[in-house]
Amino acid sequence: MKVREAIAGAAIDLREARILLAEVCGFSQASLAASADEEIPFEAENAFRGLLEKRKKGVPVAYLLGRKEFYGLELAVNPSVLIPRPETELLVDLALERKPPSVLDLGTGSGAIALALKCHAKKTRVTATEADLSALATARRNATKLNLGIDFRHGRWFEPVAGERFELIVSNPPYVAEGDPHLKDLSFEPQAALVAGPDGLDCIRDIVAGAGAHLSPGGWLLLEHGLGQERAVRALFSDAAFASIATWPDLAGIPRVTGGRLHGKR
C-alpha cells in the first residue's frame, strides 16, 4: 500500500493519521509528505493498522506515541500520567516570572511543570511530590533523560515535605467534578489525576489549606483550575488569608490559574 492510500483510508483525523504513519515508518512529517507515492513496508503497514485500531477505540495519540511535547520539552508519557496540556504552560510562565529560588510542584505526574521550570531556571531548587508511584517513576525517567535535577518525593501533597518551606508552590491538581460529562472523553487517562470530589475542588481545598505552612513569607501559591471555578478558588485563597489574589486567563481566554501571596516580605 502507498503512503497516500494509507492516509486516505485511515478513517481517523487526517493530521493524526499522518503523525501515526510517520511514526511507524520512522519518517519526519516532511519526508512523509514527500513520499506520498512510496510503498509502505509490510511491517510498518501492520503496525499502522494496529495503531489505527487503538486510536478508533479512543486511545489518545500521545499514549500511542509514548510522548508529548510540553514547554518545548519532549516528555515520555504512558497511561499512569496525565498527558500534559498546552494550557498548563501558563502556570509555568507565571512561575518563571516570579524568579523563585525554590519551587514545590504538587502532583507532578509526568514531571511536566517541574521539568519546564528547572529547564528555564537552572538555579532554582525544584522539589516535586506525587502520590502515584508509577507516575513518579515516569517523572524520574523524564528528568534523567533531560538531565534536569529535580528532588522527587513520593506521597500525598505536602506529606513528603513536612517542615520545609518554599518561595513558590505550583500545582495543576485534579479539578474535574465527579460525574462531569467531559470525563467520558478522558477515560484513558488516570481518573486519580482528574477527579476531585463532587464540585471538583477537593484537591484545591486541601492544597490551599496546607500551603501556608510550606511557603516562605511573601511566597506565592499558583494553582491551575477549570472553567468556572475561579470565583470559588479565589474565595478559598481569601479565606486562607492570602494577599494579591488574582486569576489569569489561558490563550483561549478561559480563567485558568489563580494565585495569591502569603503575608510577609521575601
Residue from 124, 127, 129, 258 binding ligand SAM (CB under 6 A): 129
Residues in contact with ligand SAM, total (CB under 6 A)?
22
C-alpha to C-alpha distances, 237 to 39, 103, 139, 172, 222, nearest whole angstrom: 59, 19, 29, 16, 10
Q: Which one of 6-14, 103-111, 145-153, 233-241 is the stretch in contact with ligand SAM (CB under 6 A)?
A: 103-111
Interface with ligand SAM (CB under 6 A), residue from 44, 113, 117, 262: 113
Query: In this chain, which of 103, 135, 236, 240 binds ligand SAM, going by CB under 6 A?
Result: 135
- H helices of the chain, in order, are 3-8, 14-25, 29-33, 42-56, 61-65, 89-97, 112-120, 133-146, 202-211, 230-239
Among 124, 172, 229, 258, binds ligand SAM (CB under 6 A): 172
- When asked if residue 63 is in the footprint of ligand SAM (CB under 6 A), the reply is no
Task: Name which of 24 and 112 has its Cβ closer to ligand SAM.
Answer: 112
Select 131 or 245, whichever has its Cβ closest to ligand SAM. Answer: 131
Contact status: 88 vs ligand SAM (CB under 6 A): yes
Instruction: With beta carbons less than 8 A apart as the criterion, state whether 258 and 204 touch.
Output: no
Q: How far apart are CA 196 and CA 175, in angstroms?
A: 5
Distance of CA 247 to the CA centre of its chain: 19
Among residues 155, 149, 65, the alpha carbon closest in space to that of 114 is found at 149
Among 107, 210, 259, 260, binds ligand SAM (CB under 6 A): 107
Per CB under 6 A, 127 contacts ligand SAM: no
Radius of gyration of the chain (CA): 21
Under rule CB under 6 A, residue 260 binds ligand SAM: no
User: Per CB under 6 A, does 108 bind ligand SAM?
Assistant: yes
Q: Which residues bind ligand SAM (CB under 6 A)?
A: 82, 84, 88, 107-110, 112-113, 129-132, 135, 156-157, 172-174, 192-193, 203
